[in-house]
Amino acid sequence: MPTLPATFDDWGRKRLEVTAENVGEMIHMRIEHQKIFRLPQSNSLLFSIHTHLLPMNELVKKKEWAERFYRVLMDLPDHIASYKGYLANKEKITKFLKDSLEI
């Protein structure tokens, strides 16, 4: 589901439906690939952003990604976790990651 500001009414309230059982499919990490290209004829710059949403179920398939994200979340101050949209479910996410890593 796209997480555009215009569709916040649809996806925003679903953040309140996250449980320990569905956290792996409901919580996603947003990943951006940003590139800058110089256009040959005009010498102008073209800036592109391609975004991906990676569900936690997919993230934990790469142990090093899950470990890194777990460490980041454990150290993330609450005001930044809130800005990133993780604060309300931080405990569920970290437990899910910890369980997947068998820590």
pLDDT of residue 24: 94
Record the pTM.
0.76
Write the pLDDT tens digit of every residue in 35-85: 999 999 999 999 999 988 899 999 999 999 999 999 999 999 999 988 888
pLDDT of residue 3: 64
pLDDT of residue 31: 86
- Nearest 5°: CA angle at 71, between 67 and 74? 140
Answer yes or no: are the C-beta atoms of 68 and 40 closer than 8 Å.
no
- Could you tell me which residues come within 8 angstroms of residue 1 by beta carbon, excluding any fewer than 6 positions away? 7, 10, 11, 14
Q: Where are the alpha helices (DSSP H) in the chain?
A: 8-11, 23-26, 56-59, 63-75, 78-84, 90-101
Nearest to 57 by CA among 99, 15, 1: 99
Classify residue 43 as left (phi > 0), alpha (psi -120 to 50) or beta: left
Write the pLDDT tens digit of every residue in 3-35: 666 777 777 777 788 999 999 999 988 889 999
Q: Could you list the residue range(s) of the whole structural domain that residue 84 is in?
A: 5-101
pLDDT of residue 102: 82
- The total number of structural domains in the chain stands at 1
